[in-house]
Chains A and B, each alone.
Chain A
Amino acid sequence: MEQKDVQELLLTILEELTGTDEVREDLDMNLFEEGLLDSLGTVQLLVEIDGQCGVTVPVSEFNREEWATPRKIIEQVVAMKS
């Protein structure tokens, strides 16, 4: 899977989870501060990343600051994949 595909996949997942396409337009928006993601949303995100990207992100790896924006999420997953 190329980096572009991972990005597209993650943005689709985020779009479904948050119910808005803003996540696509503004890659630097803080998903937690905007109230788009909470702990349940986060878990769903991790489950989807696990199922669709084949990357298992342990819950304790997840840190709200390091995973706050769509861009950061993409970077983290790409880094973990390689």
Chain B
Amino acid sequence: MINTLEQMFSKIVYYSPYERPFYFILLGVALIPLIIQLLRGNRMMWYQNILTLTFLWLSFSGPNARQGIALILYVLWQTVLVYAYFKYRQQRNKSSVFYVAVALAILPLFILKLFPFLANQTMLLEHNPQLRFIPMTIGFLGISYLTFKAVQMIMEIRDGVIKEYSVGRYIQFLLFFPTISSGPIDRYRRFEKDLLHPPSKETYVEMLSSGLNMIFLGFLYKFILGNLLGTQLLPRVQDFALQRENLFLGLLGTMYVYTFYLFFDFAGYSLFAVGVSKLMGYDTPINFNKPFLSHNIKEFWNRWHMSLSFWFRDYVYMRLMFTLMKKKVFKSRVVASNVGYFVLFLVMGFWHGLTWYYIVYGLYHATLICLTDAWIRFKRKHKKQLPSNMWTKGLSIVLTFHAVAFSFLIFSGFLDTLLKTIF
């Protein structure tokens, strides 16, 4: 009896979110009671909490148990931190305390990102192998995304727009399992509104159908297109490029295939995350809106990994610009704005990882955006002399796509692999 139970558990415990068909079957069945209640206009909070714990357990137990412990420690850290800052903010509002609170919220992720870099540079681990426990105790799948949720909380408490702190709701926000591994990054006030006010029956019927549509479109994106591109086509074009018979063609092929692979894989995942949220009666924001039809880079960032770029827009760029402009640090608005873009994209690069190609990817996008802004200003002044028709619009879409695809070639790290085979 115990043996069969053990066998049963050993079959189900190792599921990363949205990876295997069995995860979807399990999730589908487990969601039924919740869906039935939502169709009657009720949100079964207790059931949702059990569901959350169950699915987190599925993803963070067994071989991933270490990550599970790291997740628990992380949530504890953030909950206490936000609690302490909230209590402080009700009495006072010093900038220095705010900056320390933000730094403490980022600290676990910062250590995790810095550690492999330091270890590589200084042979730290060779001399002190016991230090390996540091990344192992801190890291878990999704820590980058939870950090965005934690930091926005501190910032909105500072701004005084979060007037009440409910530990329970904050934990539910952090641990909302459909989006835990890779977003989309929700906003606390938006999430809390959904949590407290379940959708009306009519609205929920629409959410249910669009959620199911999204999940099936996600299957097409991630498991068919993304899988074909990523496991079949990508290794072939990469091999071709590495042989260096026709390096240009090889790199071009890698660039196109990787770009579409990245899109279908990540957009597919995001469709699952948003679709499952909808089945649970939550309007998690979407992440992709036909990004490859953008006319310029600015528009691209409003359509690609949207919850991330909006987060950076609202919590990094706009806040920084507000301070810079209010204190008149730069005389020219253009200079201030360009500095803001470089800060934003460098932070985004570092967030991806402390590797040269992520940093170059960030700098490249910052440069493109500054150039785009300059071009838009030029266009405004010379409106009459410049043609604007179907052809120029088509051309701008093609150009934007290629500028973006090239950035993903940098991002993919393939150039690093290639360079290492040459030198």
Contacts and interface: CB of A to CB of B under 8 A. Distances in A.
B416 interface: no
A46 B318 CA distance: 10
Contacts of A44: 325, 333
A40 B333 contact: yes
A61 interface: yes
Contacts of B181: none
Of A51, A60, A62, most B-chain CB atoms within 10 Å: A60
A38 B333 CA distance: 14
B159 A50 contact: no
B325 A58 contact: no
Contacts of B152: 60
A43 B322 contact: yes
B333 A46 contact: no
A59 interface: yes
B319 A59 contact: yes
Nearest to B328: A47
B337 interface: yes
Nearest to B162: A60
A39 B321 CA distance: 9
Contacts of B158: 58
A49 B101 CA distance: 28
A58 B321 contact: no
Contact of A60 (B314, B317, B321, B333): B314
B13 interface: no
17 contacts: A39-B317, A39-B318, A40-B333, A43-B318, A43-B322, A44-B325, A47-B322, A50-B326, A51-B326, A58-B159, A58-B160, A58-B161, A59-B314, A60-B159, A60-B315, A61-B161, A62-B318
Interface in B350-370: none
Contacts of A50: 326
B382 to A, nearest CB: 15
Interface in A34-82: 38-40, 42-44, 46-47, 50-51, 58-62
The 7 closest A-B pairs by CB, nearest first: A58-B159, A43-B321, A60-B159, A60-B156, A47-B325, A59-B318, A40-B337
Interface in B329-354: 333, 337, 340
A61 B159 contact: yes
Contacts of A39: 313, 317-318, 321
B252 interface: no
Given A58-B159, A59-B319, 8 more contacts: A38-B298, A39-B318, A42-B318, A43-B321, A46-B322, A58-B158, A59-B159, A60-B155
Given A58-B160, A60-B156, A60-B159, A47 B318 contact: no
A50 B323 CA distance: 12
A4 B161 CA distance: 27
Nearest to B152: A60
A58 B298 CA distance: 24
A39 B320 CA distance: 12
Contacts of A51: 326
A60 B155 CA distance: 8
A20 to B, nearest CB: 11
Of A40, A44, A50, most B-chain CB atoms within 10 Å: A40
A46 to B, nearest CB: 6
B311 to A, nearest CB: 11
B325 A60 contact: no
A81 to B, nearest CB: 16
A40 B298 CA distance: 12
A13 to B, nearest CB: 14
A59 to B, nearest CB: 5
A47 B333 CA distance: 12
A15 B159 CA distance: 28
A44 B336 CA distance: 11
A39 B298 CA distance: 11
A63 to B, nearest CB: 9
Contacts of B319: 59
Contacts of A42: 318
Contacts of A60: 152, 155-156, 159, 161, 314-315
Contacts of B315: 60
